[in-house]
Amino acid sequence: MKTLILLRKQKLLMKVLQTDKTHALQSCIAVLKNNEKRFSSPLHCHPELELVFIKSGSGKKVIGDTIDEFHTGDIVLVGSALPHKWICDNNDQSPSSIVAYFNKDAFSEGFYALKESQKLANLFAKAGRGLNITGSTRQIVGAKMERLTKKSGLKKIIGLMEILHIISVSKEVDYITYDNNTSRSNDSGVDRLAEVYHYIAENFQKDISLHEIASIASLTEPAFCRLFKKRTAKSFVEYVNEIRISAACKDLQDTDLNVSAIYSRCGFKTISNFNKSFKKVTGFSPKEYRQNMQLMQD
């Protein structure tokens, strides 16, 4: 097991833990029920592919170079060596998931050379960018993963292969990351921006300077801006504001806090800047957004 620890300017940034799940569990396929409080695993990667079914919970997921929301019912296929982390909402104390770990090397090269296995081989290659399973396929796969937890031995292997086949032929599959470089295998095993996404997710409530975030990526400020724009199609400021607005939406929806209390706890310096940014992203003022959410819940 290797752990990469980056220290820069006397700041402990984050660990990217490289693990070996199936080896530790002494099985080429492992299916686990995860009721761990708040999904507390650090940003990590492993040689196995990982199929995750969120039975309950919500928050942010960091997959390679992308940070996005996750919700109950979501199903994600994470490729080999692709850094990932699940960050639960602060008020979500009891998330649960079903996770299947499997190593594609459990089958020989001859297996993947078979015509019948081509779609499966293509799926594993696509998983290097992370995949969201959507639509009716998500419902079918979720039900089968529930049943998979009760199987053992050869039946478990057959059950997982059936699930993977369903995903491989489905059109209800979307890429998560922007390019295929996030799963590259190098000495660190992690994309150089993975730390940035994690840091933003953990610190969006405070002021994050361009100098600070560029240092975390070990880039000059101009080089960081170019790379970040290429990866996310957004400027750094736009990206951070969207993360902050997402947190504000949740507060407006789930709490009785007034706007003057919400804007500062989400990282905005002034209420006028908050209102302007909120309307730009959502199309509504904070007050209108809260009223619309209340009407939908009535």
- Which pLDDT tens digit goes with each residue over 49-94? 999 999 998 888 888 767 788 999 999 999 988 888 888 876 666 7
Name the pLDDT band for 130 (thresholds 50, 70, 90): very high
Task: Give the per-residue pLDDT at 44.
Answer: 77
For residue 112, CA distances in Å to 14, 38, 79, 119, 121 come to 36, 37, 16, 9, 6
Q: Are strands 11-18 and 44-45 parallel, antiparallel or unpaired?
A: parallel
How far apart are alpha carbons 263 and 270 in whole angstroms?
7
Threshold 0.75, pTM exceeds:
no
* Across 194-221, average pLDDT: 88
* Across 235-262, average pLDDT: 88
Would you list the DSSP string of 246-272?
HHHHHHHHH----HHHHHHHTT-S-HH
Name the pLDDT band for 15 (thresholds 50, 70, 90): very low
- Which pLDDT tens digit goes with each residue over 181-206? 444 333 343 456 777 888 888 899 99
Q: What is the pLDDT of the chain when averaged over all its residues?
A: 80
In angstroms and rounded to an integer, the radius of gyration of the C-alpha atoms of the chain is 20
Q: Which domains does the chain have, with CATH numbers?
A: 13-175 (2.60.120.10), 194-297 (1.10.10.60)
How does DSSP classify residue 284? S
- Which pLDDT tens digit goes with each residue over 277-288? 888 887 889 998
Query: Is residue 20 over pLDDT 80?
Result: no
